[in-house]
Structure 1
C-alpha cells in the first residue's frame, strides 16, 4: 500500500493550488510569484516537455528560498517521475490513476496525487492506501459528483482540478472539496481579489 497523507501538511489550511501549464520558465516563475504573494503556497508545474521540466526546476529553486515546495503535474510515465525528482519536485500529480506511477513516486520519496473520475477509480485508489485524490475534470464532473462520492467514500479528500477559477470555485467548496486548483485565473487581475477572498474562507 501507498500512503499520501503527506498532503495534509502540504496543503495545510490553504484551499487553493496553482497549476502553471506550458508557460515556460520565466513566465512560470512570474505567475508562481503572484500565487505565492497572494497566499497560495502550493504550485504545480506539469512536465510534458523539456521546457516544462526546466520551468519546474526554476520555480522549485525559487520556492525553496521561500520555504515552499512545488509539485510536478501531468505525470503519466515513470520517466516523468524521475524528471520530477531531479528537477526538485516535492510531489507528483497525475490526470488518472495508475498504480505504477503512484508506486514509482513513493519510491522516489514523492507523495502522489492521482486523478479519478469514477467510483471504481476512487475505490481502487483508496485500496492502494491513497486518501487524497484529484477529481478531474472537475468542471465536467460537477458539484453533485462530490456529494455522491462522500457517501460510499467518506475517507477520500478531493482536490478539484480542470476548468476551475475564482468564479466557479465556491460551489465546489460548498460541495465538500478540500482544495481547488486554478491556473489562468492568476493572470487575470480582475480575479485576484476573488481568489484572495477564497483564501480567507
Structure 2
C-alpha cells in the first residue's frame, strides 16, 4: 500500500492540527476502534503503539477505514524490522520513544519519523539521523520551561511534547514553542483496552476545540 503522507506533509499538517493522538491498550480491535473514534472527533494524526497486541492488524484496519485527511502511524517503533512491519501494514508515520535504529530505517524508506529525545544532545542526534520532528519525551519532567530552554539553541527543531500532557497543560507547551502535543492516557483513558468510547469522544472534542481556539488567537496576534 503506497504511503500518501510525505514527511513534509506530516510536518505541515501537525503544525496546523497541533495534536497527535497516542493509543495503546490490551486489545488490538478495541485500540483500532478508539483510533477511528478519535479521527471521527477531529484528530488527523493517530499512532497505535506496537506494544498493543494485534497492533499491526489494527493499523491496517484503521488505514482502510480512516476518514479522508486522517492518517495512522505506529508508536514504540524500535527496530529496523519494526519499521518494515509498520510500512507493510500501511502505517503512514512512525514514532519512537528513544534514539532507536528505527529512525534511520524509516527515514531511509521515506517514512516520517517523530523521534523520541529528552536532552539537547539527543534532540540534535535525532534530527541528524533523519527525524522529521523530535518527540520531547517525557515532557512532564521539565515542563514548558524546559522546552523553551531547549529551543533557545535549537530554534529550527520542531518539537512535539509528549508525556503527562493533559487539557490543562497543552497551551503551555504550545506557548513554549511546541508545534504539537501528543496525547495518550489523558485522551484515551481505557478506551484502547475496551473501555467506553463515549467519554473519550468527549475529551477528544475538547482537545480539538482547544487547539482551534489557540490557533485562532495566534492568528489574531499576527494581524
TM category (shorter chain) comes to 0.7 to 0.9
C-alpha separation in 2, matches of 1:16 and 1:199? 8
Give the alignment's TM-score, normalised by structure 2: 0.79
Q: CA deviation at 1:158?
A: 0.7
1:1-201 alignment, distance < 5 Å: 4-48=7-51, 50-63=53-66, 66-98=68-100, 100-130=101-131, 132-184=133-185, 185-186=187-188, 188-189=199-200, 191-200=203-212, 201=214
- Cα shift readout 1:150-184 (whole Å, capped 9, x = no counterpart): 11001111111112222221211121111111123
Root-mean-square deviation (CA, aligned residues, Å) is 2.2
Q: CA deviation at 1:73?
A: 0.6
Contact 1:24 1:55 in 2 (8 A): no
Contact 1:102 1:114 in 2 (8 A): yes
SS of the residue aligned with 1:75? coil
SS of the residue aligned with 1:114? strand
Contact 2:113 2:132 in 1 (8 A): no
SS of the residue aligned with 2:73? strand
| Structure 1 gap ranges (5+) | none
